[in-house]
A and B are shown apart, each in its own frame.
Chain A
Amino acid sequence: MNWAAVKSMYVSEMMRFFRTIAQSFISPVISTSLYFVVFGAAIGSRIDQVEGVSYGAFIVPGLIMLSVMTQSLSNASFGIYFPKFIGTIYELLSAPVNFLEIVLGYVGAAATKALFIGLVILATAALFVDVQIQHPVAMLLFLVLTCLSFALFGFIIGIWAGNFEQLQLIPLLVVTPLVFLGGSFYSISMLPPLWQKITLFNPVVYLISGFRWSFFGISDVPIGLSLMAIAGFTALCLAIIWWIFRTGWRIRS
């Protein structure tokens, strides 16, 4: 393993993050506060409790997941698309590194940023509602795995994208709807029976459900299934990235 290269890529990506540290932290804090004002205060006052948890607290895991997923995705996709766009990818391709080292450097940095933001949102949420975490280790595990798997997915999107429009396309058209419909702000049990079945085809449901379980001990789907879903998604993304670097798809002519 070329650890010096992994460190070099990771540090360089993190430096890019710290150059925009203010907006990186301020924007999630503001958007989380807005969600609490709108969902927590306005809607929450009409919904008393969801499965024994106050609505304000109930949406905290979903809010964190929403931000973490979109942040991992956009950080990682931009992180690898940018070198492609400005041409600096030649350095990665001509360096003595393999796909795993590139992934550890770029995806690792994107996941770290998203993790930071997830924790910032958790801290912000704690200012508004009383947040109890029943299984802190599982909570961190889910958080880290979600950051990693979505950063891997974002990395693939960044390599696939041929322009900035395509870079936004998948997050906007696929991921955001899946996250919103994945039970971020409601329990699946609140849906009509037919929709309860349909929604099980949404992979994000398993991630949010597992994450919420680590907070309140309640879940829409069994916790083991949630873990399997996230592990499977991570493995699938890794396999695709391995294939990309083996064939040079969209990066080497």
Chain B
Amino acid sequence: MAAIVEIRDLRKTYAGGFEALKGVNLAIEEGEILALLGPNGAGKTTLISTICGITNPGTGQVTVGGHDVVENYREARSMIGLVPQEINLEPFSRVKDSVAFSRGLFGKPRDDAAIEKILRQLSLWDKRDARVVELSGGMKRRVLIAKALSHDPQVLFLDEPTAGVDVELRKDMWDIVAELKAQGTTIILTTHYIEEAEAIADRVGVINGGELLLVEEKAALMARLGQKTLQIELQNPVTEVPDALKPYGLELVLDGHALRYSYDTRGESTGITRLLSDLSAAGLSMRDLQTEQSSLEDIFVGLVREGSA
């Protein structure tokens, strides 16, 4: 698939001298869901804001559908829908007027049928005549999405769509994203919830300190960086790791009732066979064994630590 959004060496320094983006390179493919994962202040929102024109442009180049976001901003922005992180809505306007306003702003003629379709898709049709101020927080977020979709964008940016949202609504949001992907919309979402990226993304980019640390297929990322742990429960507890087993870097857990061994699935040899035979040689007998795959969260924490080290 071809890249619909291309970011080349994007740098952004704020007036105060803070360097929020330090040369980001990224190609986002048409039709994919890319999750940008990073802690608060990592540069996620700055990246989106710079692409969408909310902040002054930095250096480097961004194209959307081949259109430069600065030089050909009209063509580029017409392809983009943006759902901001904060619930920024005019409180006294009616839902359908608010969505119609956004459609017009993006140069599209009035089309009541198109707006009805979007409102129905987002379960907002019943609330079309309600004023924004009367809606619940979850409904307001839906209105933000409806506004962003009002001009049929090919690329949708969702900036922390589920920050501060309850579990049920988060699930709803994921369903909406899946539905949009099925319609062919390219989606870039930022999040600091690992489970969100894990649940809905095709690819995951990890961003921290204004740098994109990596971008990987989600499954590949987990396989490539997946650390596994093997927990060995012992028949009889020990007070310390026997000298013969020291090279394995074992951790004593469960008050000496178990040993934990971390290994890398990427390695040619995991060292498990040797460990188990050395364990018997050291006179320890096993009661149970269990292995655990590290989650995206562990991978992420590992990467962020590496990056800041």
Q: Among B77, B97, B107, point to the contact of A4 (Cβ < 8 A).
A: B107
Kindly supply a per-residue 1/0 record for chain A positions 69-93, scoring 1 wherever the CB is within 8 Å of any chain B CB and 0 otherwise.
Answer: 0000000000000110011101111
Q: How far is the CB of B276 from chain A (nearest CB, A)?
A: 58
If A87-B88, A94-B80 touch, whether A5 touches B106 (CB-CB below 8 Å) is yes
Interface residues of B in 81-128 (CB under 8 A from A): 82, 84, 86, 88-93, 97, 100-109
C-alpha gap A8/B147 in the complex (Å): 13
Chain A residues within an 8 Å CB radius of B147: 91
Chain A residues within an 8 Å CB radius of B77: 94-96
C-alpha gap A105/B307 in the complex (Å): 47
If A86-B91, A90-B84, A92-B105 touch, whether A252 touches B55 (CB-CB below 8 Å) is yes
Whether A96 and B73, one on each chain, are in contact in the complex, defined by CB atoms closer than 8 angstroms, is yes
Kindly supply a per-residue 1/0 record for chain A positions 100-111, scoring 1 wherever the CB is within 8 Å of any chain B CB and 0 otherwise.
Answer: 000000000000
Interface band, chain B:
35 or more
If A12-B97, A90-B82 touch, whether A95 touches B91 (CB-CB below 8 Å) is no
Interface residues of B in 236-284 (CB under 8 A from A): none
Chain A residues within an 8 Å CB radius of B90: 82-83, 86, 88
Q: How far is the CB of A194 from chain B (nearest CB, A)?
A: 46
Contact surface of A with B, Cβ cutoff 8 Å: 2, 4-5, 7-9, 11-12, 15-16, 19, 82-83, 86-88, 90-97, 247-248, 252-253
Q: Among B52, B86, B102, B104, point to the contact of A7 (Cβ < 8 A).
A: B104
C-alpha gap A86/B77 in the complex (Å): 22
Whether B88 and A90, one on each chain, are in contact in the complex, defined by CB atoms closer than 8 angstroms, is yes
Closest 9 CB pairs of A and B: A8-B104, A87-B88, A96-B74, A94-B52, A96-B77, A95-B105, A248-B56, A2-B107, A93-B54
Whether B15 and A86, one on each chain, are in contact in the complex, defined by CB atoms closer than 8 angstroms, is no
C-alpha gap A83/B92 in the complex (Å): 12
Q: Classify the secondary structure of A's interface with B.
A: helix
Could you list some 9 contacts between A and B, CB below 8 A? A4-B106, A4-B107, A8-B101, A9-B105, A16-B93, A94-B82, A95-B106, A252-B54, A252-B56
Whether B101 and A12, one on each chain, are in contact in the complex, defined by CB atoms closer than 8 angstroms, is yes
C-alpha gap A247/B55 in the complex (Å): 10
Chain A residues within an 8 Å CB radius of B86: 87
Q: Among B55, B80, B101, point to the contact of A253 (Cβ < 8 A).
A: B55
Chain B residues within an 8 Å CB radius of A95: 77, 105-106
> Which among A2, A90, A248 has the highest number of chain B CB atoms within 10 Å?
A90
Whether A90 and B54, one on each chain, are in contact in the complex, defined by CB atoms closer than 8 angstroms, is yes
C-alpha gap A16/B104 in the complex (Å): 17
Q: Does B41 contact A (CB under 8 A)?
A: no
Closest to A20 in B: B92
Contact surface of B with A, Cβ cutoff 8 Å: 14-15, 52-56, 73-78, 80, 82, 84, 86, 88-93, 97, 100-109, 147
Whether B93 and A12, one on each chain, are in contact in the complex, defined by CB atoms closer than 8 angstroms, is yes
Q: How far is the CB of A1 from chain B (nearest CB, A)?
A: 10
Given contacts A4-B109, A96-B75, 5 further A-B contacts (CB under 8 A): A4-B108, A8-B100, A9-B101, A94-B54, A96-B74
Whether A4 and B14, one on each chain, are in contact in the complex, defined by CB atoms closer than 8 angstroms, is no
Closest to B12 in A: A253
C-alpha gap A15/B97 in the complex (Å): 10
Chain B residues within an 8 Å CB radius of A86: 88-91
> Which among B91, B102, B106 has the highest number of chain A CB atoms within 10 Å?
B106
Chain A residues within an 8 Å CB radius of B15: 253
Q: How far is the CB of B96 from chain A (nearest CB, A)?
A: 12
C-alpha gap A93/B82 in the complex (Å): 11
> Which among A4, A88, A91 has the highest number of chain B CB atoms within 10 Å?
A91
Chain B residues within an 8 Å CB radius of A19: 92
Q: How far is the CB of A10 from chain B (nearest CB, A)?
A: 10
Whether A8 and B14, one on each chain, are in contact in the complex, defined by CB atoms closer than 8 angstroms, is no
Q: How far is the CB of A122 from chain B (nearest CB, A)?
A: 30
Q: Among A15, A88, A97, point to the contact of B89 (Cβ < 8 A).
A: A88
Closest to A105 in B: B105
Q: Among B73, B74, B84, point to the contact of A87 (Cβ < 8 A).
A: B84
Chain A residues within an 8 Å CB radius of B76: 96
Chain A residues within an 8 Å CB radius of B56: 247-248, 252-253
Chain B residues within an 8 Å CB radius of A92: 105
Whether B107 and A96, one on each chain, are in contact in the complex, defined by CB atoms closer than 8 angstroms, is yes
Q: How far is the CB of B18 from chain A (nearest CB, A)?
A: 10
C-alpha gap A97/B14 in the complex (Å): 24
Chain B residues within an 8 Å CB radius of A5: 104-107
C-alpha gap A52/B84 in the complex (Å): 62
Chain B residues within an 8 Å CB radius of A9: 101, 104-105
C-alpha gap A252/B55 in the complex (Å): 5
Chain B residues within an 8 Å CB radius of A90: 54, 82, 84, 88
Chain A residues within an 8 Å CB radius of B54: 90, 93-94, 252
Q: Among A15, A91, A252, point to the contact of B102 (Cβ < 8 A).
A: A91
